[in-house]
Structure 1
Amino acid sequence: MASDTKEVATDLVPVLRVYKDGTVERLFGSTHVPPSPEDPTTGVSSKDPTISPLISARLYLPNLPKTTTTTTTQKLPILVYFHGGGFCAGSTFSFLSHRYMNLIASESKALIVAVEYRLAPEHPLPAAYEDCWDATQWVASHAVDGNDDGGDKELWLINHGDFERIFIGGDSAGGNIVHNIAMRAGVESFHGDLKILGAFISCPYFWGSKPMGSEPTESREQMLLYRLWMCAYPSAPSGIDNPMINPFAGDAPSLSGLGCSKVLVCVAEKDHLRDRGVHYVEAVKEGSGWKGEVELVEVEGEDHCFHIITPDTESAKNLINRLASFIAQ
């Protein structure tokens, strides 16, 4: 905890404070928890491999039905997941994320790779984007012939991963990362030329200088959503209208370039980010010429990422089930 006597350089309550001596105090998130050989609620197993010196992850393997033969190994869809936190906070090792991933893995019967990417402001964007791309490349590398000789390969992926069913997903800033990974996948290849089948984008953190829908029109530069982006990516070309945060900016690449076959976008009625999530679906569906399938799910009466914070409510259970069924299809 930073000392009260330190001078604050940037105050982004309730997410973080940055002090003039370089100290970063993160105010958002939950305590870290260890992986579990078998989660007592869901039966999901988890462990923490190292992807690279900069990137780690938590893997989740659902409780699979026992078979009568030892020669058959069930192949599961693979979800590469990116957590939220405004690019500056949050962790895949947190209690909230761990509980959420256990639920998704259990409901979808998917093998999940939840990525622990570097956080701003110590590691400004595009570091998180690069980490998440590299992590997805790491997953794809397990399907390439001749690379099953051990080494840094993860046996859960080799034994259980169905590389014809790779999904990416994320909430809030993680949803933003999903969009940017999907756009990059439209112009760059993964190992073995593997393809992303689907992407879910939940409560996505998109923003811009011009208000959209019911967004406030005044003092936009003082809003947390604006200031958080500028803290995470101070050198961003075009600032808050950089295409990575504003996919509707004039110089943003066409959404026809999304490198996946289907997209599910989830928004919450009371979320300040709701209108841009809805517009994203409209832009993909009506104006881009993209050939995939896009669907919008809106949850009434709920706020930002409610399903992660309070997963036991009926609305949260319904949304988690919808996300799981999207992956399991």
Structure 2
Amino acid sequence: MSEPSPVPDPYALMGIIKNQDGSITRDPTRFPRVPATPDPFPQVISKDVLVNPSNSTWMRLYVPTTALNDSVSSKKLPLVLYYHGGGFITCSFDLKLFHEFCNRLARECNVVVASASYRLAPEFKLPAAYEDGVDALKCLRDSPHEWIKSYADISNVFLMGTNSGGNLAYNVGLGSAFADLSPLRICGLILHAPLFGGEERCESELRHVDHQVFPLALTDLCWNLCLPDGENRDHEYSNPTVGVGDVGPDDVMRRIERLGWKVMVIGDEDLLLIDRQRDVADLFKKKGVVVVERFTGDDGGAESTTLFASIRNFIYSPPPLRFSLKEAYINGPIAYDP
């Protein structure tokens, strides 16, 4: 009988080294970084904008070059606020991987993209990343930047993220649902392989516990490093089924439904988080939120043409019946109110 394959070291998989003071050392050469391309680039231009100098947070704006040509269309484009992945502990908005993804998102979905940075754990534990996510929203709302003013429809905003960025989009969305962000208006969430957890292991986690690329030990490491001290994976930041603060999950989803948001959940059938991603989609659906599920065997990666077609269809599909913001306010704001 053959010996089971050894489980890879999660620190090595993440390219990090744990320091004695609780911080981590990240390998700066693990992923290449690329600059923005403010001059006309094939079909997309991009530029970096400072968000919060106190926290050294930035965002990279992406605009399809077709939007620069008034003869094509003078209509402003939907705005996607994108949060990068990395388990809350690694990566940056300017990595080549995310830069190319956002370039393609802007080009193929015909949207303006704002790709935001956020502070990383364990040096800055949650909710620091959520606070930075809200800062990015306020930056877009108040931005004097010509690209936002001229090309982005800030009354048609979607929060999107990959992995930890999907978790961030979800939590920032819930916390901002009843904040007065006018004239900015959130219309929906796009959760791309979102990172969620819980103390009780779900079936897909047990099935893929020893996955050679995404083992369970890796997601456990991320939660151990990013959650507030003394908290476990059943904390509200990790486990959506517990609700937000004093607000239960049913009430949270009911509030989203009243605002008329729509939600897209994207996941990989062959990875360990798929059951948790399905659970989040089911939470929304049970309370009447319009949900589009895209669960495939390819994780909806940046090379999937059908992924971007699905996202574009979702963004440009008619919105569900929307209650007025004034009526929605009867429930009051929840966490992370800007």
TM-score, scaled relative to structure 2: 0.79
Q: Secondary structure at the match of 1:256?
A: helix
Within 2, Cα distance between the matches of 1:123 and 1:138?
Answer: 21
Within 2, Cα distance between the matches of 1:198 and 1:257?
Answer: 13
The C-alpha deviation readout for 1:71-117, integer Å capped at 9, x for no partner, is x8431111110000000111110000000000000011111110011
Residue 153 of structure 2 is aligned with which of 162, 165, 168?
162
Change (3 A) 1:323 1:188: same
Change (3 A) 1:227 1:45: same
Within 1, Cα distance between the matches of 2:111 and 2:225?
Answer: 35
The C-alpha deviation readout for 1:157-187, integer Å capped at 9, x for no partner, is 1111112211110110000011101111224
Within 1, Cα distance between the matches of 2:187 and 2:89?
Answer: 29
Asked whether the 8 Å contact 1:37–1:46 carries over to 2, the reply is yes
1:14 aligns with 2:9: no
1:253 aligns with 2:248: yes
Within 1, Cα distance between the matches of 2:202 and 2:209?
Answer: 14
Change (3 A) 1:74 1:107: same
Change (3 A) 1:39 1:239: farther
Aligned AA for 1:284? F
Once the two structures are TM-superposed, the CA of residue 195 in structure 1 deviates from its matched residue by 2.3
Name the structure 1 match of 2:101. 100
Change (3 A) 1:38 1:104: farther
Name the structure 2 match of 1:321. 309
Aligned AA for 1:114? S
1:24-173 matches, cutoff 5 A? 24-27=24-27, 30-38=31-39, 40=41, 42-53=42-53, 54=55, 55-64=57-66, 66-68=69-71, 73-142=74-143, 153-173=144-164
Q: Secondary structure at the match of 2:101?
A: helix
Within 2, Cα distance between the matches of 1:23 and 1:246?
Answer: 24
Q: Secondary structure at the match of 1:79?
A: strand
The C-alpha deviation readout for 1:215-262, integer Å capped at 9, x for no partner, is 229999x822122112112426x4211111100137773232336610
Instruction: Give the gaps of 5 or more residues in structure 2.
Output: 1-8, 211-215, 318-338
Change (3 A) 1:239 1:159: same
Aligned AA for 1:108? C
Name the structure 1 match of 2:329. none
1:302-313 matches, cutoff 5 A? 302-303=298-299, 307-308=301-302, 311=303
1:203-214 matches, cutoff 5 A? 203-214=193-204
Change (3 A) 1:35 1:173: same
Aligned AA for 1:107? E
Asked whether the 8 Å contact 1:49–1:57 carries over to 2, the reply is yes
Once the two structures are TM-superposed, the CA of residue 318 in structure 1 deviates from its matched residue by 1.1
Within 2, Cα distance between the matches of 1:234 and 1:171?
Answer: 22
Residue 231 of structure 1 is aligned with which of 199, 217, 225?
225
Q: Secondary structure at the match of 1:120?
A: coil
Aligned-CA RMSD value: 2.8
Within 1, Cα distance between the matches of 2:92 and 2:40?
Answer: 19
Question: Which 10-residue stretch deviates more, 78-87 or 257-266?
Answer: 257-266
Aligned AA for 1:163? I
Corresponding residue pairs, total: 293
Residue 185 of structure 1 is aligned with which of 176, 185, 203?
176
Within 1, Cα distance between the matches of 2:10 and 2:76?
Answer: 47
Within 1, Cα distance between the matches of 2:138 and 2:282?
Answer: 30
Instruction: Give the gaps of 5 or more residues in structure 1.
Output: 1-9, 143-152
Once the two structures are TM-superposed, the CA of residue 17 in structure 1 deviates from its matched residue by 1.9
Once the two structures are TM-superposed, the CA of residue 31 in structure 1 deviates from its matched residue by 1.1
Once the two structures are TM-superposed, the CA of residue 284 in structure 1 deviates from its matched residue by 1.3
